[in-house]
Amino acid sequence: METKSAVRMLAALAQETRLAVFRQLVEAGPAGRAAGELAEALGCAPATLSFHLKELSNAALIEGRQDGRFVIYAANFASMNALLAFMTENCCRASSADGCGC
Amino acid sequence: METKSAVRMLAALAQETRLAVFRQLVEAGPAGRAAGELAEALGCAPATLSFHLKELSNAALIEGRQDGRFVIYAANFASMNALLAFMTENCCRASSADGCGC
DNA sequence: TCCATATTTTTACAATCGTTGAAATATTGA
DNA sequence: TCAATATTTCAACGATTGTAAAAATATGGA
């Protein structure tokens, strides 16, 4: 993974509301959840949530699909795994030599 | 780890210069590197680097120690591991059931 | 002590971010 | 087609961020 992608993903997750959204979607699994449901669960205005969903989408951390008049969002587990791999690889390299548990 | 700590750490790493600093420090291992050395390596003004080092320090991702007239910074591997654990735990929970590789 | 070196703090400013009301767009059912 | 529902886009705003020059602080050596 490129550094730019990693920064974009980290920035997307580095915000309380968005991290909460992402966790909801992880919990929901591949079935995902509707935008409105998420807005209500998190107690924020639809426009606010839409903004954050777009941020997460741009970072490729989630994906939305239209389902009738709802838009269902689901976590992109492959992307999240790539990010974790990047962080383990690039931010923990000294580990084996120095007792880091990665 | 609390959500707030995780957000603070993610925000600290979600910036190109700071991610580069952290990677340098991971590479340097526990021996660390002097602030000035890092500034030169990354090509940014000392004041700018100091600002970013403080951000990383506040997030507990790095630690500085005075060594003569230098300040040596080193990565805090325990914190990084805690962050990785948090992300695996909270952002990949659906994994086992759904084929995520964590 | 005085000077040179290393780093941080202060200050200022442009750029980006997070939020939300209002308007626009899309979809379904009558 | 029209009304109702779901979501996004637009517009505006205050708040935060990233940057770096200038000043302040800290350390070691002459």
Question: What's the average model confidence in pLDDT over B23-29?
Answer: 96
- The Cα–Cα gap between B65 and B75 comes to 12
B1 touches chain A (CB under 8 A): no
- Indicate yes or no: strand D within 7 A of the C-beta of B55: yes
- The Cα–Cα gap between A60 and A2 comes to 13
Report pLDDT for B99: 46
Residue nearest to nucleotide D4 (CA to C1'): A69
pLDDT at A101 over 80: no
- What is the pTM for the complete model shown? 0.92
User: Hey, of A15, A100, A102, which one would you mutate to test binding to chain B, going by the most B CBs within 10 A of its CB?
Assistant: A100
Candidate from A10, A77, A98 with C-beta closest to B77 = A98
For chain C, which bases have at least one atom within 7 A of a protein Cβ?
4-10, 17-23, 26-28
Tell me whether residue A18 is exposed, middle or buried, using C-beta atoms within 10 angstroms of its C-beta: 0 to 12, 13 to 18, 19 or more: buried
3-state secondary structure of A64: strand
Other beta carbons less than 10 A from residue B10's beta carbon: 22
pLDDT at A97 over 60: no
**Contacts for B22 with CB less than 8 Å, ≥ 6 apart:** A91, B12, B13, B56, B61, B62, B75
Candidate from A11, A23, A92 with C-beta closest to B80 = A92
b/e per residue A63-78 (b: at least 16 CB within 10 A) = ebeeeeeeebbbbbbe
Q: Give per-residue pLDDT as tens, B31-55.
A: 999 999 999 999 999 999 999 999 9
- Indicate yes or no: strand D within 7 A of the C-beta of B31: no
B19 touches chain A (CB under 8 A): yes
The backbone torsions φ and ψ at residue A34, rounded to the nearest 5 degrees and listed phi first, read -75, 150
pLDDT band at B83 (very low <50, low <70, confident <90, very high): very high
Other beta carbons less than 10 A from residue A4's beta carbon: 9
B30 touches chain A (CB under 8 A): yes
- Indicate yes or no: strand D within 7 A of the C-beta of B3: no
The candidate with the shortest Cα–Cα distance to B80, out of A56, A60, A86, A23, is A86
pLDDT band at B1 (very low <50, low <70, confident <90, very high): confident
Other beta carbons less than 10 A from residue B90's beta carbon: 16
The backbone torsions φ and ψ at residue B67, rounded to the nearest 5 degrees and listed phi first, read -140, 95
